[in-house]
Amino acid sequence: METKKESLVLSRQFEKVNAILEKYSYKVDNLITILQEIQAEYRYLPEEILTYVATALQISPAQVYGVATFYAQFSLKPKGEHIIRVCDGTACHVKGSSQVLKAVRENLGLREGENTTSDLLFTVETVACIGACALAPALMVDEEVYGQMDEEKVQQLIDRLLGEGEKADAV
């Protein structure tokens, strides 16, 4: 897993930031879009990069930080390669989504207060409703929906995902 982590760090190419800043002509008005593109690239907003953006746009780092923390879409902590969104809307909630969430976290070995696995492969989030109430309780892995989940199905799903991860590693 260590090699995976290292290669992730390497994939965060600094030069991309400059291309993004260039694309939006270093305009403060485009700050939100700039941050969105940076997050798409890095999967989160690293502190050094935000400071760099502030320098390049000639505004204070506090201002950039203020914007980055205002919107729920931005994350200042590293996010995993895959995002698992467990639905906790009304329908899923009554159908036992908290058990599903617990199972997901346990299978990934997440500790209290942790939402991302240490190998930066998975991040677990809860969302209010993904519109799949008929399949409750449901969850999404990236763009794919999995319905009528229970603890056993969660375990199978995670095992499969981890297996794919290792296969990808081997390649």
Partner 1 sequence: MNEKMAQKAVVVDGQEIVLNGEKNILEVAKKANIEIPTFCYHSDLSVYGACRMCLVEVEGRGLMPACSTPPEPGMVIKTTTSRVLQARRMMVEFYLANHERDCTVCERNLNCRLQAIAASLGIDEVRFGERKEKLPKDTSTFSLVRDPNRCILCGDCVRACKEIENIGVYDFTHRGSQTKVEPAFGKKLSEVECVYCGQCSIRCPTGALVVKSEVDNAWRAVLDSDLMVVAQIAPAVRVAIGEAFGLPPGEITTGKIVAALKKIGFDRVYDTAFSADLTVVEEAEEFFRRLQKGERLPQFTSCCPSWVIYAERNYPFYLENLSSARSPQQMFGSVIKNFICQVENVPREKLVSVSIMPCTAKKFEARRPEFIHDGIPDVDIVLTAQETIRMIKTANIDFRELEPLPFDVPLGAGSGAGVIFGVTGGVTEAVLRYAYERLTGQELQEVEFKGVRGMESVKEAEINFGERRVKVAIVHGLAMLQRLVQDMRRGERYYDFVEVMNCPGGCIGGGGMPLEYPDYQEVLRRRAEGLYNADRLSVVRKAQDNPSIKFLYEKWLQEANSEVAEHHLHTHYYSRRRISDEVIRIQEAKSAQKVDIAVCVGTSCYLKGSYDLLQELLELTKEYGVEDRVSVGATFCLEHCTEGPNIRINEEVFSGVSKDKLRQIFEEVVLSKLVAEAH
Binding site for partner 1 (CB under 8 A): 6, 9-10, 13-15, 18, 46-52, 54-56, 59-66, 69-72, 76
Cis-peptide into 137, omega within 30 deg: yes
**62 or 134: whose CB is closer to partner 1?**
62
**17 or 101: whose CB is closer to partner 1?**
17
CB of 55 to partner 1, least distance (A): 6
Backbone torsions φ then ψ of 134, nearest 5 degrees: -65, -25
Rounded (5°) CA angle 110-116-121: 105
Edge-first strand order for the sheet with 144-146 is 122-127, 82-87, 139-141, 144-146
CB of 38 to partner 1, least distance (A): 13
CB of 119 to partner 1, least distance (A): 17
**44 or 52: whose CB is closer to partner 1?**
52
**113 or 142: whose CB is closer to partner 1?**
113
The token pair that represents 3 in the structure block: 């090699």
CB of 27 to partner 1, least distance (A): 17
Residues 6+ apart with CB under 8 A from 162: 121
